[in-house]
């Protein structure tokens, strides 16, 4: 295979987020089939990033599903309607599917607080079935922290994320899992397992400059592609969604 | 005399990618008027004015014609920090003059959205004002990025410094420009 052919092949195997600077920093995008942890504290922009990722994918013809545990669907939709990148037609045509995981858990008869091994297995099967039936190429779980809270042991957490990631990778589905961490801590997850199973980590933080808080984004890890580890200033606007610019170092 | 200054700055900005203008505080208002006149007189060129000194409202109250000039865009770094809430189609309001990366984002977005057959210019008014709100090292780094980005996009930049506020740091920063114009009382 020639160098040009190799380059084209590599581009085709990348999942573009549609956020220009981010795709540039990952040499074209996220390797298809990856499980990526989107880490951040409250208000850091995790949900917005994940939703923009799904919407951008839908515009490229890639169907996506957003599983929410932390926010009810009506609230999620209401917050998203404020963004220009949000297109109601994508929801109506099924290119972006919003599903409340708590309702699924209820229907499966799962305990709201703690999942047994069988419960976790049943939930995993449902997630896989939905992804397969809808033929999704992009999947978001918001948040994996809330899900892990219900899994009783570290082994169950590791097992769940590993099996989920493996099944979705086999469907060429690229997955974002949001991970909630306390502000200003150098942690990638609550249970300190999620980041080891994931193929990638996108860290959303903030820096203080003269009393003002500036949102930041950093690619900590992304298996399968060369990527920048520089920290970027991140802006979220209703008109343009997420934008990045290298953070001034001084 | 103001016409002479206008021509001098405009010609330098056409030839050189980045021009630094050092102006005495007593002549700052003359320079400001010169730049406004140049922008208003421009038909094909695209202009962006980054203000860290005056609010958009102050500028457009004196120059109402700006409302009908699609080739002119403003970045206002002052209004929101001063608690003034405003919206305008031809202006982007940045939360604070400390958010320097936002200036670069808005600049890049605005120029990419607007195409022109003429030249594109950006005025940074002023580096002295930026120093009030930011650390020296941050301003130095920002200006380096600013000059590099405008150079890469073929945007001609004009940056203003008040002469009385020049110190070693501002001296080093302003000389990152390709061309320096020192405005003297006699010039005006």
Nearest to B5 by CA among B126, B62, B28, B60: B28
Instruction: Give me the domains of chain A, ranges plus CATH numbers.
Output: 31-246 (3.40.50.300)
CB contacts under 8 A, B 77-96 vs A, are: 95-96
Position A45 pLDDT exceeds 60: yes
Position A18 pLDDT exceeds 60: yes
**CB contact at 8 A, B17 and B156:** yes
**Residue among A243, A248, A250 whose CB faces B105 most closely:** A243
Peptide bond into A143 cis (omega under 30): yes
Distance from CA of B101 to the nearest CA of A (A): 6
Find the residue in A nearest to B134 (Cα). Answer: A210
The mean predicted confidence, pLDDT, of chain A is: 91
In sequence order, what are the residues at sequence separation of 6 or more whose Cβ sits closer than 8 angstroms to the Cβ of residue A104? A123, A126
Q: Which residues of A touch B104 (CB under 8 A)?
A: 245
Query: Residue A100 burial (CB < 10 Å; 0-12/13-18/19+)?
Result: middle
> First vs last Cα of chain A: how many Å apart?
45
Find the residue in A nearest to B96 (Cα). Answer: A212
What value of ipTM does the predicted structure carry?
A: 0.88
Measured between CB atoms, does B101 come within 8 Å of chain A?
yes
3-state secondary structure chain B: CHHHHHHHHHHHHHHCCEEEEEECHHHHHHHHHHHHHHHHHCCCCEEEEEECCCCHHHHHHHCHHHHHCCCEEEEECCCCCCCCCCCCCCEEECCCCCCHHHHHHHHHHHHHHCCCCCCEEEEEECHHHHHHHCCHHHHHHHHHHHHHHHHHCCEEEEEEEEHHHCCHHHHHHHCCCCEEEECCCCCC
In sequence order, what are the residues at sequence separation of 6 or more whose Cβ sits closer than 8 angstroms to the Cβ of residue B26? B185
Percent of chain A with pLDDT over 90: 69
Is A214 in Cβ contact with B99 (below 8 Å)? yes
Q: Which structure tokens are listed for B107? A: 């600049």
Instruction: Name the region of A224 (left: φ>0; alpha: ψ -120 to 50; beta: rest).
Output: left
**Residue among A211, A243, A248 whose CB faces B142 most closely:** A248
Position A108 pLDDT exceeds 90: no
pLDDT of residue A192: 85
What are the pLDDT digits (tens) for A184-206? 888 898 888 888 889 999 999 99
> For B74-78, what is the mean pLDDT?
96
What are the pLDDT digits (tens) for A228-240? 999 999 999 999 9
DSSP assigned state of A70: S
Is A243 in Cβ contact with B109 (below 8 Å)? yes
Nearest to A71 by CA among A103, A112, A95, A110: A103
Position A42 pLDDT exceeds 50: yes
> pTM for the full model?
0.91
Kindly indicate the confidence band of residue A13, based on its pLDDT and cuts at 50, 70 and 90.
Answer: confident
Q: Which residues of A touch B96 (CB under 8 A)?
A: 210, 212
Measured between CB atoms, does B99 come within 8 Å of chain A?
yes
Where do runs of H (alpha helix) occur along chain A? 3-12, 20-25, 46-59, 73-80, 88-92, 101-108, 117-134, 144-150, 154-170, 194-197
Percent of chain A with pLDDT over 70: 95
The listed range with the strongest mean pLDDT (A71-75, A159-163, B125-129) is B125-129
pLDDT of residue B188: 47
Tell me if the domain spanning B2-182 has CATH number 3.40.50.300.
Answer: yes
d(CA A25, CA A217) in angstroms, rounded, equals: 11
Alpha carbon distances (Å) from A202 to A32, A108, A195, A228, B101: 16, 32, 10, 11, 20
In sequence order, what are the residues at sequence separation of 6 or more whose Cβ sits closer than 8 angstroms to the Cβ of residue B173? B127, B139, B140, B143, B161
pLDDT of residue B1: 58
> For B90-104, what is the mean pLDDT?
96
pLDDT of residue B153: 92
**CB contact at 8 A, B71 and B42:** yes
């Amino acid at each position: 295979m020639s160098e040009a052919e190799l380059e084209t092949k590599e581009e085709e195997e990348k999942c573009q987020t549609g956020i220009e600077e981010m795709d540039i920093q990952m040499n074209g995008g996220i390797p298809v089939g990856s499980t990526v942890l989107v880490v951040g504290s409250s208000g850091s922009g995790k949900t917005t990033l994940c939703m923009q990722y799904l919407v951008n994918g839908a515009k490229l013809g890639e169907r996506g599903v957003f599983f929410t545990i932390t926010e009810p669907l009506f609230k999620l939709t209401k917050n998203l309607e404020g963004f220009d990148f949000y297109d109601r037609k994508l929801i109506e045509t099924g290119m972006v599917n919003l599903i409340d995981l708590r309702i699924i858990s209820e229907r499966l008869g799962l305990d709201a607080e703690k999942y047994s091994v069988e419960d976790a297995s049943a939930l995993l099967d449902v997630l896989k079935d939905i992804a397969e039936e809808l033929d999704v190429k992009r999947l978001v779980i918001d948040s994996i922290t809330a899900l892990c809270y219900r899994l009783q042991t570290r082994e169950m957490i590791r097992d769940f994320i590993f099996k989920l990631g493996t099944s979705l990778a086999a469907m060429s589905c690229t997955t974002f899992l949001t991970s909630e961490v306390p502000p200003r801590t150098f942690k990638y997850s609550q249970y300190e397992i999620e980041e080891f199973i994931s193929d990638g980590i996108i860290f959303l933080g903030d820096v203080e400059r003269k009393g003002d808080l500036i949102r930041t984004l950093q690619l900590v890890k992304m298996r399968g592609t060369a990527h920048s580890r520089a920290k970027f200033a991140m802006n979220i606007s209703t008109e343009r969604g997420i934008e990045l610019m290298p953070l001034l170092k001084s | 005399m103001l016409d002479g200054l206008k021509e001098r700055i405009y010609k330098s900005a056409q030839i050189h990618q980045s021009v630094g203008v050092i102006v005495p505080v007593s002549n700052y208002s003359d320079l400001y008027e010169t730049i406004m006149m140049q922008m208003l007189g421009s038909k094909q060129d695209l202009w962006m004015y980054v203000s860290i000194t005056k609010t958009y409202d102050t500028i457009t109250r004196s120059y109402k014609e700006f409302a009908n000039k699609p080739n002119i865009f403003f970045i206002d770094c002052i209004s929101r920090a001063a608690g003034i809430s405003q919206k305008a189609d031809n202006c982007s309001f940045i939360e604070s003059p400390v958010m320097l990366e936002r200036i670069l984002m808005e600049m890049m977005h605005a120029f990419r959205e607007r195409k022109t057959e003429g030249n594109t210019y950006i005025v940074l008014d002023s580096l002295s004002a930026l120093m009030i709100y930011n650390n020296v090292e941050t301003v130095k780094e920002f200006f380096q990025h600013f000059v590099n980005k405008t150079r890469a996009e073929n945007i001609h930049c004009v940056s203003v410094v008040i002469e009385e506020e020049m110190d070693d740091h501002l001296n080093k920063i302003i000389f990152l420009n390709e061309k320096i114009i020192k405005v003297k009382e006699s010039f005006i």
